[in-house]
Amino acid sequence: MHQLLQRLCLCAGALCLAAPAFSQTDITEDGGVITSPHINWNSNENFPKLIDNYPGTKYQYESGAFTVVYEANFPSLVTQYAVTSAADNPDRDPMNWVLDGSNDGVNWTSLDQRFGQFFNARLERQLFTIATPGTYKQYRLIAFATREGRYIHLGEWELLSPVKTAIPASLTATLVPGQRVKIGWKDNATNETGYSVERSTDGRNYHIAALLPPNAKSYIDSNLATDQQYAYRVRAITTEGAGKASPAAIIRTEKGPSLDDITDFKEGRLTARYAYSGPEGLSKLTDNTPNSFLHMWNSPSWLLYYLPGGAVVTQYAFTVSNESAEYDPSDWTLEASNDSLNWTVLNTQHKQQFERGTRRVYAFANKSNYQYYRFQLANNSWGINLSELEILGKGEGSLSKDKPVTAGNFHAQGVSPYQVVLAWNDDANDETSYRLERSKDSIRWNTVDNLNPGTTLFYSRNLTPQTKYYYRLSAINRNGRSAYTYVSATTTPDESPLYWQEHWLEHRQLLKRVHNNKDVAFYFDNDVPANTTWMFTEFTAAWKYIKKTYGTFCDPKLYVVLHEDKYHGGHAAAVCDSNHDYRNVIDLGGEWSFRNDWNIGAPVHEIGHIVEGNSKDVRESPAFSIWGDSKWCEIFNYDVYKNIGWAEDAKAVYDQMQTHSDVFPRPGTYWFRDWFYPLYTRGDSSVTLNRYFELLADYFPQHNGVYTRRMNMGEFVHFWSGAAGYNLKAQADTAFGWNDEYEMQFKQARIDYPFTYPENCRPRPLPSKPWNQAHEYLTALWPNPASGTLYFNGPNDRTVYTVEAYALSGQRSLTARVSGKNAPIDVSALHTGLYLFAVSDQSGVLFTRKILITKPSGKGKYQG
């Protein structure tokens, strides 16, 4: 460190200048490798985030200093580099750093040194010009010294090369027989020394598939997986490095033939280099259950499958776990033998990437029968997880004729008035499903569910309070059903306790119930004034609307816990959470004597987390890593306010969100304005929001009542397209930007989750019943034009009428329920324009009328 400080003090005169006019290529995008001795074991903040092209993500390390090395695929002349500050905590920004270059990883040349640097803002990109650049294959960044001292972080690191060469044009990708793809392009360059063909399975991480001579115009790629998307791009190579890559061509390979999985044969035996047993042991690799996995903590390693009669294998499949991608295998070789001494290489794979839970099939040519098949797995410093291994071909063996064994340790607990939790051991290992049945008398049984193999937990919900239930469970496979195992449990009384002891997080207060009705129970700590009552009707109305829109969440009651001047902020818990006694809970701290934006907004926000975290009786929020803490809750709060009549609160949310931006997935993302509000208004508002959770529960992978992984952006757009009722890809491009990664994810999602929707938004039909002049003296909406308030007279004072306003495109913009004479309808939320108002009762639409709405004086522009 002393020598490093000396180098910084010498400061070799590199200048911080504006970028030159010529085009720059960021060489960290050429498919090279970034490494570091300073690993953050939280993969969401590990060093690969430095070059992921998402400034909102970051690399963080706990020591106040880090070293990272980028090894490019080609020696490159770097004349500038850029660093971008992280999205939070300026006290963790590096103040000093050094940039070095090398061609052997041993001898390093100093290129630039900085000390006493400061970022003026979050996500600020600072560009530096190297005074004496050179051509190097490896670039090293050493950063240290922060104001906090303990942590150091950085958002992005770019290495910029001024390579001048034409970009290959007209790139095409076509299938060739034998699981091959032909890549073709137009050779525009005149100074290239060769071409690099790069391949990706995720649209973000590209690796070299081939290096070709100058003037090349095509390449046939082989050794590919079946039924798999690939993205290809091509770039010209010069003496100074790699030029810019062409736009990508995306193609899907053909499906392979259906073959037997020889690991199912009872005569076969699977072994490994090391002994792996227990819940993440070797048996999990061939149990045909994707939610279990083998964890190999030692690598490099090997897996060996022996079949005495042998098999002709031409395919194999890896299914990766839902754990972190760092545990995925990336490089391996498949070998075959008949004596376990002399081995023939059948297939080799290099730098593979997987989406979570992906099954990928690899095909190869082979006509020989082998008894031994061995996978040599390359070193991975994190260890290796693999969920399923299938070896596919035609072999000599037989399937077991045994029925599955009975699940062990079947037990149940009545945890609430409406819920029993059941658990058991997955002792079968060869089941294709579990059948769970329920009874109130242990004589007449009804099937509760047919559960996926590997299930060990079930939440039996929406039950009757203080009732004894009987359950029986059997495992099923191709040979039949196991014997039943039995258990019983009784639900608890439907009571809200007068006193409730907190036992979660740092909360340890004794709470007293201060208000209770059929929908909401309120609990205060001793510091909340006893005369604080304004929220009783407010939160009750909100929860009633939420149950009507999204369901009861097993328990029809919401528990509202409020603290005064402690535990500032809030959190939520749902009926799946034992730490909150299996109740729907929102727990907040603050000052509660009056109603204000925060005191109404924060509790509804927390209810929004109950909705996203346990909707349709499935736990977790697969989109949380995309929309974070607030983005879903912004449209949720707006919807709640709008539909229970809090017009001013809805307007405040709308106005605030027009100028509120976020840093993910790119800086300047307007989640509410450009994503949620358009799909909400062009669809059918709250029905659209609820339909998203219905689709998740029907399609997205889950295990033991929990979604098994986070969704990616392509899946996110697909599910919301299904909810909105039309393809949202163009809207996602506006809101988030669109790239190869999203395109591949979106295409894959439409295959994996086969619900469909139109490609374009179709306006809903307007109510068609015309205005009946004969009823004008009985029924009226006035004035016309209207500004701020519209008035309604119904033909029957005691009937409740629904009044809806539609834009002429068919989008519903307002709904109100009114009765009596001269009933006011607040239309201040509508922007200026002509609307079709429809009045209906339980029999349907009575009449429609067009009314011009103008903005009241002094009101801001607002679209409702």
- pLDDT tens by residue, 513-557: 999 999 999 999 999 998 999 999 999 999 999 999 999 899 999
Confirm whether 169-252 and 773-853 share one CATH topology: yes
Mean pLDDT, the chain, whole residue set: 90
95: Cβ contacts below 8 Å, ≥ 6 apart? 115, 116, 117, 118, 145, 146, 147
Question: How do residues 384-443 score in pLDDT, each as one tens digit?
Answer: 999 999 999 999 999 999 999 999 999 999 999 999 999 999 998 889 999 999 999 999
Q: What is the pLDDT of residue 365?
A: 94
> Which CATH architecture is the domain 408-490 placed in?
Sandwich (2.60)
Q: Is pLDDT above 60 for 863?
A: no
- The token duo for 136 is 């190097």
CA dist., res. 705 & res. 454, Å (int):
12
- Mean pLDDT of the region 226-234: 96
198: three-class secondary structure by DSSP: strand
Under 8 Å between Cβ of 655 and 859: no
Global pTM value: 0.84
Q: What is the pLDDT of residue 23?
A: 58
Q: Is pLDDT above 70 for 501?
A: yes
SS3 content of the chain, % helix, strand, coil (to 5): 20, 35, 45
- Mean pLDDT of the region 450-477: 95
In sequence order, which ranges of 176-251 are alpha helices (DSSP H)? none
According to the CATH classification, is domain 2-161 in 2.60.120.260?
A: yes
Q: Band of the pLDDT at 272, cuts 50, 70, 90?
A: very high
Q: Looking at the domain covering 496-617, what would its CATH class be? A: alpha beta
CA dist., res. 781 & res. 777, Å (int):
11
pLDDT over 90, % of the chain: 76
- Mean pLDDT of the region 102-111: 96
Under 8 Å between Cβ of 384 and 393: no
- The token duo for 442 is 């242990």
Under 8 Å between Cβ of 245 and 209: no
Q: What is the pLDDT of residue 768?
A: 66
Q: What is the pLDDT of residue 215?
A: 96
The dihedrals phi and psi of 513, each to the nearest 5 degrees, come to -75, 125
- Mean pLDDT of the region 20-31: 73
Question: How do residues 770-818 score in pLDDT, each as one tens digit?
Answer: 544 444 434 578 888 998 899 998 777 778 888 888 877 666 778 888 8
**Which of 800, 624, 790 is closest to 700 using CA atoms?**
624
Q: What is the pLDDT of residue 18?
A: 34
Q: Which residue has the higher pLDDT, 276 or 561?
A: 561
Domains in the chain: boundaries: 2-161, 169-252, 260-395, 408-490, 496-617, 773-853
CA dist., res. 365 & res. 35, Å (int):
35
Taking the domain 260-395, which CATH number applies?
Answer: 2.60.120.260
> Residue for token digits 């091959």?
180
582: Cβ contacts below 8 Å, ≥ 6 apart? 415, 416, 419, 555, 575, 576
Under 8 Å between Cβ of 193 and 135: no
Taking the domain 773-853, which CATH number applies?
Answer: 2.60.40.3080
CA dist., res. 864 & res. 530, Å (int):
37
pLDDT over 70, % of the chain: 94
Q: What is the pLDDT of residue 763?
A: 66
Q: What is the pLDDT of residue 299?
A: 80
Q: What is the pLDDT of residue 835?
A: 86
Taking the domain 169-252, which CATH number applies?
Answer: 2.60.40.10
Range with the poorest average pLDDT among 8-22, 545-559, 640-654: 8-22
CA dist., res. 398 & res. 103, Å (int):
56
Q: Is pLDDT above 80 for 48?
A: yes
